[in-house]
Amino acid sequence: MDSVPVTLGPNVVDPPLGLHSRFLLDGAGFITCRDILEEFHKKRGHELISDPLKRAVLQRDLWAVFDVLQGVIPSNFFLNGGERLPKLTAEQEERRAALSLQIAQAIKAVALPRSELDRLPNTYILAVKSGAFSSRPIDQRSADYLPSDLEEADSPWLEIFPPESGPRTKEGFLHTEIVRGRSVFRVFAKGPASPEGTGQFKQWLEQMTKSLEARLGAKSGFDLNGEEHRQWERTMKMLPVGSQFVLLRRMTCLDPDMNLVPTRVVESIQIRIDGPHDNFNADHIFEEFAFDRRLLFAGRQGGLQPVREGERHPAAYYALGHLVSDEEGQVVPLGEFPRVCFICHGTPVQSFSFMLSQGGQQDPEKVGKRTLRWKMEQDDYRRLRDLASTQPR
């Protein structure tokens, strides 16, 4: 794909930064970042922020920039537009080390104790209670359907967990590594509203689980020409019309000891409602809600803003974790929502082939614990802990 100049931000979910040195390590960009962080430290800027939610979000944003500075490209980020790590000069390496130290200490300075992190609001519930969104799907143009029963005690939504074997066993869902484990992703599914549809959906889920287990256990692995894969495709096409899926992303924070603490603050929600498979792109409904700081801090809509039909939007995962760009600051052209969804969800097979294993009763901690374990094994997290404990100069 050709790249084009584009400006994103500042109110975006993930930092609009590429991995290339010019964005933070050269010229005025570096000087500005260094000076602001130095002023923040000297004037004890963290003491000026009393609102726990604002402190948590500031830490979240600093953490994302820290991870981008460490220059890790996820091994499973197969849609990264050919992004490559830059070769840094000695001066740039020195500047990267300096900024990493400053950011790590700012992250520690704004850290909240676990007791306060646990009290951060459940913004999904706040979004539902705000009345700003429809509790039932209407059409693609409305783009404001937010299931009101997702987190009810007797919720009809089943939670889908990552496979226990195969390529996704360590980190969980594909998205986890892309955002470097700073968020917990959970997937939910629900069959069509009718009793018949609900029964068909449960049968499909059982068959899909067996099909995946056969595929993961086959000698051919994920060979697209294998019989196991063909069976998987046949199973996926049996998905009942009207089935719904939700991908929920929630913020993780760090306490003063740099321990990982999942929160209930929602960063994004993606919803898909399946239509007839003979006309997939036209008949399926895609919804997406993005984290909006202004709404969040104003206590409106749970901080969530729906993405509207036709809105310009990064394609695939190009702005998940960080903005993918070339050395000139150019990115793959933005596409129209929901057309950009079809890159990864053009067929039912593409939607689930790397993540679904089994559905069951919801377990808020299961995927979260798995995500935290993965993050604790990463070098960027170990580096953050080391730098945060370094005595400030």
* Model pLDDT for residues 206-224, shown as the tens digit of each residue: 777 777 666 656 555 555 5
* Helix, coil or strand: residue 331: strand
CA distances from 350 to 195, 324, 341 (A): 27, 22, 11
Residue 196 pLDDT class (50, 70, 90 cuts): confident
Question: What is the per-residue DSSP string for 62-113?
Answer: HHHHHHHHHTPPPTT-TTSTT-------HHHHHHHHHHHHHHHHHHHHTPPP
Q: Which residues contact 63 (CB under 8 A, 6 or more apart)?
A: 107, 182, 254, 384
Task: Identify the residue whose tokens are 């993780």.
Answer: 252
pLDDT computed for residue 330 by the predictor: 75
CA distances from 195 to 137, 192, 211, 241, 246 (A): 18, 8, 24, 13, 21
pLDDT, averaged across the chain: 83
- C-alpha 121/C-alpha 263 separation (Å) is 8
pLDDT computed for residue 310 by the predictor: 83
Q: Is 100 a residue whose pLDDT tops 50?
A: yes
Q: Give the number of C-alpha atoms closer than 13 A to the C-alpha of residue 187, restricted to the C-beta side.
A: 19
**Single-letter code of the amino acid located at 274:** D
Q: Is 344 a residue whose pLDDT tops 80?
A: no
Cβ pair 315, 335 in contact under 8 A: yes
pLDDT computed for residue 172 by the predictor: 65
Mean pLDDT of 353-369: 70
More confident residue, 124 or 351: 124
Residue 350 pLDDT class (50, 70, 90 cuts): very low
CA distances from 142 to 65, 169, 306, 340 (A): 34, 37, 10, 17
Q: Is 119 a residue whose pLDDT tops 90?
A: yes
Q: Which residues contact 36 (CB under 8 A, 6 or more apart)?
A: none
pLDDT computed for residue 232 by the predictor: 67
- C-alpha 383/C-alpha 209 separation (Å) is 38
More confident residue, 4 or 250: 250
* Model pLDDT for residues 120-172, shown as the tens digit of each residue: 999 999 999 999 999 988 888 888 999 999 988 888 898 888 766 555 555 56
Backbone dihedral region for residue 82 (phi beyond 0: left; psi -120 to 50: alpha; all else: beta): left
- C-alpha 58/C-alpha 46 separation (Å) is 10
pLDDT computed for residue 349 by the predictor: 44
CA distances from 88 to 237, 324, 331 (A): 48, 18, 21
Q: 227-236 vs 195-217: helix axis angle to the nearest 10?
A: 170
Q: What are phi and psi of 302, to 5 degrees?
A: 65, 20
Cβ pair 239, 204 in contact under 8 A: yes
pTM over 0.85? The answer is yes
pLDDT computed for residue 354 by the predictor: 44
